[in-house]
Structure 1
């Protein structure tokens, strides 16, 4: 049976694909996590969109099309990174850095690892928006960028690890003291272009307090304003109390697991699932940071065991998982360790692919145009040198990253 997927008008009209300007040939294509692979496939791209996907014998590559040889490789949809922070020394000055400097940093941090869409979930006011404007203005090649602008902290609850950042001259505090203050700021950020909001349900402040919870009324005010505008809300939970605040306020996405809380019991998992809360595991965060702190091996292992157990429980319950790295909060950009830890949590390669593609696209309202390799969808593509079906760390073996038909990264031969 011919497994060719073409736009309806392309089925009979060869001139319809003649305008294609990019062809990836010979690769094994995984069109989506739930779709059968297409071997020795050809994908045609024109004007930033996919126009044809099928077996090589069934799709003619027009003369003049740029070709990428995918023989022996795997092609998947472009990756989403649903938890980043644009706060590295270069990216934190996104409005003023030279474009070539920004592009190099973006490539090394994100596009080299297959990311065609980023969700910045907390940084300095206006910074992510500035980088997005410059990418959209073609000043530099880069991924699509969604952002929450500045996060919402409890009063006296700026986390200890970002206090220096928010003490920079001219940077407004992220703290909110009342529900009315939270509502007003939420409206301002959304009006200015934020694609969502983020609150710290549990802020790590150190000292005798340790973790400062956000008032539920304030959290609910942030969520209500975001949902009224059709925007999602992320929560940094830290512990079980933070999860309870997230649930009580109606948050959409947990930005982390909570490994210091121990395994999640079945009742909590079911409540999260019933509320349709998505989870970003960020397992490498705990591995990387605890190793930097040189904690005893048993402490590191306890954190990783708890975190992977939480991810496993949520996946088995049918909860939505979204891939995220927490870069640039951590400086570890290589994604291999995250894929290793997700495998330890019991995720198979299709579940990991969903967390990178279809799940975030659907969660953030783009499931009809990104996250799959199909005619009419954005030509956001990743060429892999290793088949992730054999080894899920193959998702880190990126040979080329393409966004909207434009090659953002290509590994040197």
Structure 2
């Protein structure tokens, strides 16, 4: 199937062609006809599957084919999403797909002055993308009215609940007109999310693309056993191989992200941290620099684990393993997006081996173990069930697929004394993955 087969109007097809879109992803192929047919939709799809286009394209199609509003533009579509970064990204998607439709869209979120946002809303808008807190605030002040709403999208619903937005969401839902089309998207579907979906949707059609808590097959994964003290040196070592280019590094805490970014910068590797304590301008600047290639390494907390799309991001490194195993799926889903492949490497210290066990259990896999690096820490028998009995794992490589050359690579000094490598050899081949015994 192509986008032409979906019978979309010429302005939208032209915009999609300019974006390089030819064939819809599975969720787009299934969801777009449902939305075009004005049915409620319950979408359960793994991150990176193209959910934004799955709802943005048919909403633009519906609104574009309606008679154009004269004078004040009433909000016809509301997209509610959990984070500022995701809201800004969805806004960018509407800009890309709707550039020839003449429709107006705005984005509102907290952390910045509301002045610019309220000025933009003065003459109304067709489509509003919002985070819950700022939306409620501007509704209470009389800047936002949703009585004419036709489309309501709740995106990343499980993340909304994780972040404590349930009460805000319920307040917003009470203000929605009864006659509307609702699109509900969530990566997971626990009972609380299913109950919320039941209260919002009317005879919905369900689209489920991948099983809950599975990792994309095109992402090559590996785990590197390393002592906590050697993690900084291992990260620097990998980045200094030269073939690992733009990389997203996940840290557990805000302080940890700042510390890692400072250490990398001191080592001559351009890096910035992104987390919730940063100003909105700083967060947007760091993300923009990373997306445009001006920044080689972005060190982030789980604020960017969901929904953030960076074109051609080949590498994700989990400096710290997440405490919630489901978060691992979302983190590594930042790479291997669309039809691209990706590599996800995870550092695991002795203290994190239980986290690794849970990740393997929830994702129903054994992440291959990478032993061929200078800081390998041996694993006692049975202490960490990870690996596939000698499976070859991900090999950091550049665009040409070259293996990294370990010859003449000076080992970074960790200050931790002598360390044994996994097998004492670091010749000109990539890190080898073996099953942990």
Q: Same fold (TM over 0.5)?
A: no
Bigger relative contact order, structure 1 or 2 (CA pairs below 8 A, ≥6 apart)? 1
Task: Output the TM-score relative to the length of structure 1.
Answer: 0.28
Task: Output the TM-score relative to the length of structure 2.
Answer: 0.27
- When Rg is computed on C-alpha atoms for both structures, the one with the higher figure is 2
